[in-house]
Amino acid sequence: MVKMLKSQDADFEQQFEILLKENRNTENDVSGVVKDILKDVKINGDEALLRYTEKFDSLTLTPETMRVSEKEIKDALAACSKETLDALEIAANRIRKFHIRHIPEDDSMTDEIGVALGVRWNAVEAAGIYVPGGKAAYPSSVLMNAIPAKAAGVERIIMVVPSPKGYLNPLVLAAAHISCIDEIYKIGGAQAVGALAYGTETIKAVDIIAGPGNAYVAAAKKEVFGTVGIDMIAGPSEILVVSDNKNDPAWIAIDLLSQAEHDEVAQCILITDDADYAKKVIDAVEEHLKTLPRAQIARSSWENHGCVICISDMAEAPALINRIAPEHLELALDEPRRLLSDIRNAGSIFIGRYTPEAIGDYIAGPNHVLPTSGSARFSSGLSVLDFMKRNTLIECDRASLAKIGPPAMKLADEEGLQAHKKSIGIRLDD
């Protein structure tokens, strides 16, 4: 049975803290294995990469067959229905239009004493996109990771995707084609992350790695961070729905299950100000579970990690939302924007009764790669900024250096850094 909390109960704060501290990242520690794989790939390059691909994916490759060919991409496009390709194109265009608006502008100024200051932005040169492989593959993930990189101006985008026993999902290749990905390789796991980070004889190293994966991929991304940038380490999926009693319970129930069907350790939470309505949603969840193909997964998530929170007044909701800091937040209310100004922590916010979270997963435009496990308190979803970096610019002439140089020299002197002091003073000496 799903957990129920009531804000009026004496032990609510204690129970709510237990909910917040629940650890759903239950994967076994694989860091030792991953470190060995990465070291092997770093030293032995292609040879190690191909060896692990044969071991873990039952696929024998050579350096020449590692890369997906143009023929394989054409065959994949031919295997997809026109309706599906059209849907991918619509999604890609919407994602592209949204993200390109957020490319930051360069800035420059000259202050009152004549020092020229500025910021300029430029894209990283190469990005690696990791995509889970096999039959349970997600072309939407390809679009969401690759299109912001392309919009940012990344010159070279590489995709790695495991192809167990040689199987490549046609939709994944179609999405890669639509996203204008430059190179695709049939490799996955920690070894693929290592190839992207360190480079091999066949695969040139990249500057940043983005995209979801299993525990081995997540551990590998943690390990190579610093050698390359990474997007984030994503945990199990989450949704928090804030609903009044004017919504059809079946709508809210299926919204909750839209995340529960991802994974047994996904989390779905309902906040409502009507206890009787909460029971109707719980009953509707049971009805949906009778027909969902992934009902076993969804039920495990709902019963073990789901929660229904009953509050006395919707004014209580923002404080609870900010403490949960959910990946996805739905505000299914009459006047949802009235709560927005008090909500600080959420990956993506879905406003109103006709905005299910699932529309953001595919086609709305904003990215579906979002912070999980409370990290929305300090981080944001994937954007063009993840594939860009900024340079600050400073330019003094002799007159302006003469004005700010002496106090800088004083600070250098106080820190005992005489070369710093002299590098300024030597320019001011006649």
Do 146 and 267 lie in a common domain? no
For residues 211 and 351, membership in a common domain is answered with no
User: How far, in whole angstroms, is CA 237 from its chain's centroid?
Assistant: 11
Is 381 part of any domain?
no
Q: Within 13 A of 8's CA, how many CA atoms are on the CB side?
A: 8
pLDDT digits (tens, 9 = 90+) for 201-224: 999 999 999 999 988 999 999 999
Percentage helix, strand, coil, to 5, in the chain?
50, 15, 35
Flag whether pLDDT at 423 surpasses 60: yes
Same domain, 9 and 98: no
Interval 266-288: pLDDT, tens: 999 999 999 999 999 999 999 99
Residue 177 token pair: 């084609």
Mean pLDDT of 156-162: 97
Catalytic residue among 99, 177, 305, 328: 328
Q: Which residues contact 305 (CB under 8 A, 6 or more apart)?
A: 22, 24, 265, 266, 267, 268
Per-residue pLDDT of 18-73, as tens digits, reads 999 998 875 568 989 999 999 999 999 999 999 999 999 999 999 999 999 999 99
The type of residue at 106 is: D
Q: Is residue 48 domain-shared with residue 17, that is, in the same domain? A: no
Residue that terminates a domain, selected from 230, 262, 281: 230
For residue 291 the two structure tokens come to: 């027909």
Quick check: is 261 in a domain? Answer: yes
pLDDT digits (tens, 9 = 90+) for 288-326: 999 999 999 999 999 999 999 999 999 999 999 999 999
Give the residue carrying structure tokens 């890609």. Answer: 92
Say what the pLDDT of residue 28 is.
66
328 in catalytic set:
yes
Q: Look at residue 376 and tell me if it is in a domain.
A: no
Are 294 and 410 members of one domain?
no
Spatial contact of 20 and 301, defined as CB atoms under 8 Å apart? no
Residues 42 and 169 in one domain: yes
Q: Are residues 18 and 36 in the same domain?
A: no
Distance CA 5, CA 11 (A): 9
12: enclosing H helix or E strand: helix 12-21
Q: Tell me the per-residue pLDDT of 371-397, one tens digit each, with 9 for 90 and over.
A: 999 999 999 999 999 999 999 999 999
Known catalytic membership, residue 105: no
Q: Please report the pLDDT score of residue 55 as a whole number.
A: 97
Q: End-to-end CA distance of the chain, in Å? A: 82
User: What is the count of structural domains for the chain?
Assistant: 3
Task: Kindly tell me if the per-residue pLDDT of 142 is higher than 70.
Answer: yes
Mean pLDDT of the chain: 96
Q: Which domain holds residue 419?
A: 396-428
- Both 157 and 285 in one domain: the answer is no
**Cα–Cα dist 382/372, whole Å:** 12
The verdict on residue 347 lying in a domain is yes
Helical residues (DSSP H) of 314-397, grouped into ranges: 317-324, 337-340, 357-362
The amino acid that residue 158 corresponds to is I
The fraction of the chain above a pLDDT of 90, given in percent, is: 94
Average pLDDT over residues 234-259: 96
Q: What's 291's DSSP letter?
A: T
In this predicted structure, what is the pLDDT of residue 136? 67
What pLDDT score does 29 carry? 80
133 falls in which pLDDT band (50, 70, 90)? confident
Q: What backbone torsions phi and psi does residue 388 show, to the nearest 5 degrees?
A: -130, 165
Q: Which member of 238, 261, 264, 327 is catalytic?
A: 327
% residues pLDDT > 70 (the chain)? 98
Q: What was the pLDDT predicted at 93?
A: 98
CA–CA separation, 204 and 213 (whole Å)? 21
Question: Quick check: is 379 in a domain?
Answer: no
